[in-house]
Amino acid sequence: MKTNYWSVDKNVDKKESYSQIEQAADLLKRNEVVAFPTETVYGLGGNAKEDAAITKIFAAKGRPSDNPLIIHIAKLEQLDELVENVPTTAQKLMETFWPGPLTVILEKKKGALSEVATAGLSTVGIRMPNHPVALQLIEQSGLPIAAPSANRSGKPSPTKAIHVKEDLDSRIAGIVDGGPTGVGVESTVVDCTGDKVVILRPGGITKEQLESVVGEVKIDQALINKEIKPKSPGMKYTHYAPNAPLFLVEGTKEKIQLLIAEEKQKGHTVGVLTTEENKAFYQADYVYACGQRTDLSTVATDLYDGLRSFDHHQVDIIFGEMFPTEGVGQAIMNRLMKAASHQVIR
């Protein structure tokens, strides 16, 4: 399959950009799948109403079909045709954080969506992305768009169009390049079907931000105990992993340097995932500075690009620093733990 490639102005304020988005939207209407930028990561979009389109998403990603997909909308009016009701807590969260990196789990309306897209569940995750290109594409397609991250299953999520091309070229109908994404980690997923809001996946909206709007917010036990089956889209299987094994290290940078030296003595090529503050300290074959420790939002933005970069440098083993779990740090550590298959050196 030939993959079409369109480069568009991020702000979609130039008329020449619209024709490219129209071409991509036309492919979506024909049940083809197209990658597009959101404010979090690049998504792989397909018509959420049609099994044919959803099957192509799973096939392109190599993703198990028992993993539900998040549905993206461009206008609040689209909610009425997709869900049964919107609880007050969900309404407050949407008013505050939409468009933005928040996915809300609600009771779905029977027959409104492909059963394949929702993995046969009675609920569905909906979000309205905060990216002009994404919103224009969804609006011009006239469809709710199912879209997981636009990468091969298990690999780090794509934050640049080149990442999508590396993973999915010739496997999908098109890639809309709207430049690098901003947030860098996926949306926060919250279940609003119960008495309390429950975080199923930490992401771009923090627990503290949610609680400022709706009071106490609980955390899904699957985020704490890896033996419990997660409920959230995109959290069920190993994710975000570079080719080389990643070990997170709880301790000082001096301790990490000792581990580097031991591996180099064995003849191994060693990579380190660190931040700008510590980059110059490490004597390794490849050192990636993932933002600044004093501003964890920069770490989130650079995280997946950093994890992908180790593959290009063909390292044998990677040691990664750990981060505080306050604010967006919770999402960063969630992704790093999954990338490391929970391998922590203490």
Predicted TM-score of the model (pTM): 0.93
Same domain for 207 and 276, yes or no, is no
- Domain that residue 281 falls in: 246-345
Is 40 annotated as belonging to a binding site? yes
Is 346 annotated as belonging to a binding site? no
pLDDT value of position 229: 58
Domain assignment present for 54: yes
Token pair, residue 65, equals 């079909």
**Bond before 99 cis per omega within 30 degrees:** yes
Is 123 annotated as belonging to a binding site? yes
Q: Is the pLDDT of residue 98 over 90?
A: yes
Domain assignment present for 256: yes
Domain assignment present for 94: yes
Same domain for 146 and 255, yes or no, is no
Q: Which residue has the tokens 């000792």?
A: 258
Which CATH number does the domain housing residue 284 bear? 3.40.50.11030
* Residue from 317, 326, 318, 269 nearest 299 by CA: 326
Is 72 annotated as belonging to a binding site? yes
Same domain for 51 and 186, yes or no, is yes
Average pLDDT over the chain reads 94
What is the pLDDT confidence band of residue 230, given thresholds at 50, 70 and 90?
Answer: low
Same domain for 112 and 175, yes or no, is yes
Contact 92, 32 (CB under 8 A): no
Is 341 annotated as belonging to a binding site? no
Phi, psi for 41 (deg, rounded to 5)? -140, 175
pLDDT in tens, 251-284: 999 999 999 999 999 999 999 999 999 999 999 9
Same domain for 47 and 192, yes or no, is yes
Is 157 annotated as belonging to a binding site? yes
Q: Is the pLDDT of residue 175 over 60?
A: yes
Domain assignment present for 306: yes
Of 166, 189, 223, which closes a domain? 223
Of 158, 189, 223, which closes a domain? 223
Same domain for 176 and 52, yes or no, is yes
Domains contained in the chain, number: 2
Contact 299, 290 (CB under 8 A): yes
CA distance 272 to 60: 31
Question: CA triplet 89, 190, 168: central angle to 5 degrees?
Answer: 140
Is 340 annotated as belonging to a binding site? no
Is 201 annotated as belonging to a binding site? yes
